[in-house]
Amino acid sequence: MDETLGTHQPGPALMLPDVLDLRAAAPLAAELMARRGQDTELDASRVRKLGGQCLQVLLSAQVCWQAEGRRFRVVAPSSDFTEGVALLGASSLLPTFGA
């Protein structure tokens, strides 16, 4: 598991790891599941790569949070993250917010 994922990061934002690939998907889902029912911010400032499976996790979690009336925000996206979301055609589905 990537050590940058969440637990070592102070504050409420979940720090997304730099590589969101196949291997990051399960840890990311677990981290998010642990925060279920809470307003959640994800800090995407370090992300260099975004793959399809992590995008799935983010999209599904976002829907779940919204359905439960909780806030789910991706903040401080790196240009790579924004580019990756656009590349995967998800810009309109996964809005991001400045830091």
CA dihedral 67, 88, 14, 26 (to 10 degrees): 90
Determine if 39 is a binding residue for other proteins (CB under 8 A).
no
Residue 10 Cβ, how far from other proteins at the closest point, in Å? Answer: 25
Determine if 93 is a binding residue for other proteins (CB under 8 A).
yes
Helix, strand, coil percent content, the chain, rounded in steps of 5: 40, 15, 45
Two structure tokens written together for 92: 């309109």
CA distance 27 to 70: 21
* Binding window for other proteins (CB under 8 A); candidates: 7-15, 38-46, 78-86: 78-86
Among 7, 38, 60, 95, interactor with other proteins by CB under 8 A: 60
Binding-residue total with other proteins (CB under 8 A): 39
Residue 92 Cβ, how far from other proteins at the closest point, in Å? Answer: 8
Nearer to other proteins, 43 or 72 (CB): 72
Residue type, 57: V
DSSP β-bridge partners for residue 79: none
Two structure tokens written together for 1: 């598991």
Determine if 37 is a binding residue for other proteins (CB under 8 A).
yes
Residue 72 Cβ, how far from other proteins at the closest point, in Å? Answer: 10
